[in-house]
Amino acid sequence: MAEAFCPVYAALNLLQEKWTLHIIRALLEGPKGFNELSRAVGGVNPATLSQRLDQLVRLGVVEKRVESYMPPRTRYSLTEAGRELEAVIAAIDRWARKHLKAPVA
């Protein structure tokens, strides 16, 4: 017998993927090219970034727009569904500011 679909379980599986929330947070600032997004996220391997972006495009969270082919130039932006995750990021921010302390240098 198949298990019932649990939307919370499915959403947590998506959002727990390494770099996914970092990508979404960076795109909340506005559309970005691949290299610009890589710098904004910081520390992500280009192959991993490409894989995460492809997954987010397939799921309808991110939109990919090819602006030119020579040289290749692609811009990524959040869809309506992606922009709705701003509330999730804001809730994490509020919680972190309340409960986490900045590391002492």
61 has a pLDDT exceeding 90: yes
Residues found in the chain: 105
Task: Supply the pLDDT for residue 22.
Answer: 95
Answer positive or negative: Cα dihedral of 24, 101, 95, 13.
Answer: positive
Q: b/e per residue, 47-86, with b = 16+ CB within 10 A?
A: eebeebbeebeeeebbbeeeeeeeeeebbbebeeebeebe
Q: Which two tokens stand for residue 68?
A: 């030119």
Q: What is the pLDDT of residues 7-53, one digit of tens each?
A: 899 888 888 889 999 999 999 999 999 999 999 999 899 999 999 99
105 has a pLDDT exceeding 80: no
If you ran DSSP here, which 8-state letter would residue 33 be given? E
pTM of structure = 0.85
Average per-residue pLDDT for the chain: 92
